[in-house]
Amino acid sequence: MTGRDQSDLFPIETGDVARLRARLAADAAADGLLDVAYRTVDTPVGPLLLAATDRGLVRVAFAGEGFDAVLDALAGAVSPRILHAPGRLDAVATELDDYFAGRRRSFDVPLDFRLSAGFRLRVQQYLPRIGYGHTLSYKQVADAVGKPGAVRAVGTACARNPLPVVVPCHRVLRSDGALGGYLGGAAAKTTLLTLEGAARAGCPGGDVGAGEAGMGEVGGRKET
């Protein structure tokens, strides 16, 4: 009997399916069987997959990466106990909505950086210090983290950032002002930079996000 035949015999309303999934997620979490929760959200840069552990947000993925492939990778790197549990990521989804609406300049959700290590981790943990509406070059980031000769390694750290958008690798450009690479593609990087420039221009003197106060120390420049 096909799945379609079964659905004809045992019809289930969409709302009932959602409630069943929510109950399953709640029971799995209560029993300690949920290690990675995930959901998807629609954004101006396309659908994003969000995944979180009990430590915090562990992965943000663009559709072009293949969500199934990303989940498979998380199963191997973190835990196979992965479940679609949207409620566990409500706070992240809300902050992303606010960011794309121009109401938020930085993210407050806890982050789980377990997918990175070494110099790559060092670079990624530095990136949130680049203020909203500002950019640095790969060379400036290398200088800021104490490795002036590691420009290419900085580029690799940005390209392999497991938390794009939230950890703003899109604010790092080539020294000549060109975009450089981006996991979500050039169009997504341009959209994010344009969004931040427009929101900043529309709110002069407002809160500009975490890290901007120290930009003078690392040569930050406003995106124009």
Report, as residue numbers or ranges, the catalytic residues.
169
Task: Return the bridge partners of 61, or none.
Answer: 49
CA nearest to 75, candidates 64, 83, 66: 83
Residue 221: strand, helix, or coil? strand
Question: Cβ contacts of residue 38 below 8 Å, gap of 6+?
Answer: 49, 50, 51, 52, 71, 74, 82, 83, 84, 85, 89
What is the DSSP annotation of 5-73? HHHHHS---HHHHHHHHHHHHHHHHHTT--SEEEEEE--TT--EEEEE-SSSEEEEEEGGG-HHHHHHH
**Residue 19 CB: number of other CB atoms within 10 A?**
11
